[in-house]
Amino acid sequence: MIKTIKNHIGPGWHFRARRLSRLRWLAKYRQMRRYNTDVSHRGRVAYVLLDPEIESFSYRVENTAEVIDGLAAALGQPPGELAGYAAETQTDPELNELLARHLRWRLDVKRRPPLGHRLAWYLIVRARKPEVVVETGIYLGLGSLVLLHALERNRREGSPGELLSFDLLPGAGSAVREAARGGWRRIIGSTHDVLLPALEGRRVDMLFHDTSQTEENQRMEFEAALSHAAPSLLLLDAHGGISPTLQAICAERNGAYHRVPLRSRDHIHPGVPITFGIFDREDGALRPK
């Protein structure tokens, strides 16, 4: 019955319902019970009564040093370099004061959302200096903002890059203020219809997958990036956890599969491990076996 109503309302129902998510106390209580993480009593009460997030969670990272070490090993970069990139996110106005000012009158999002697992996205982009980054699934756009600002930092240092983001809803990405949208191309539509045409003539360095987790959809998006791959391609499954589709593609293409633990600090959501594969042309990883 509920699914039928959602289908009748259309894809925009999700965003409209999210405006009331701060008042959806029962749904938040159920989420807290579902994850059953070790959270302080104060943290549990604050989440149920005040937090606007029922999905796409933002939280502080508990094990930042472990994340930095894990990513450094996977990317072949010095940990100290990645630690410096992480420090940027603590003081950068675009990810702190300016973001808070942009969100200050909204009830459907935290005024100062911590980056959570998107911190790892920032570190990856800063470390690898990509020219073309693809993001499938924008939602409110906190991930888009993180990717855009990492690319902007790279641009200032002489390594320009662009972000292509895909979503079904025209209003997706509202957390990104207009002044921060340089180098961003938003494409509205199903990735099944618009992803390959948008990649025509481009060489993709990274793809951040955050749409449907079905094997068909994941394989379609990952294979699209592989068919337009730069000499080195990184595919990331933003859902975290075990990623059997990405693991299978890594095995088929001789790609290197990585999973870096990431834990939340005093939040009902436990955190999202960083799951990604790296495919290098010189290793034969961009040719099917």
d(CA 263, CA 285): 31
Phi/psi of residue 192, each to 5°? -60, -30
**Amino acid in position 230:** A
Name the pLDDT band for 264 (thresholds 50, 70, 90): very high
- Domains, the chain, ordered by start: 64-283 (3.40.50.150)
d(CA 245, CA 233): 16
Mean pLDDT of 203-224: 96
Q: Evaluate if residue 59 carries a pLDDT over 60.
A: yes
The pTM of the full predicted model, rounded to 2 decimals, is: 0.90
d(CA 134, CA 207): 5
pLDDT, tens digit, for every residue of 164-203?
999 999 999 999 999 999 999 999 999 999 999 999 999 9
The pLDDT of residue 5: 41
Kindly list the distances between the CA atom of residue 272 and the CA atoms of 29, 108, 171, 191, in Å, as whole numbers in the listed order.
20, 22, 25, 23
Among 27-31, 122-126, 233-237, the least confident range = 27-31
pLDDT, tens digit, for every residue of 138-155?
999 999 999 999 999 999
Q: Evaluate if residue 289 carries a pLDDT over 70.
A: no
pLDDT, tens digit, for every residue of 239-258?
987 889 999 999 999 999 99
The pLDDT of residue 14: 54
Closest CA relative to residue 18, chosen from 52, 48, 44, 56: 52
The pLDDT of residue 10: 52
pLDDT, tens digit, for every residue of 94-115?
999 999 999 888 888 888 899 9
The pLDDT of residue 234: 98
Helix (H, G, I), strand (E, B) or coil at 205: strand
For every residue of 216-229, DSSP letters joined together read HHHHHHHHHHHHTE
The pLDDT of residue 11: 55
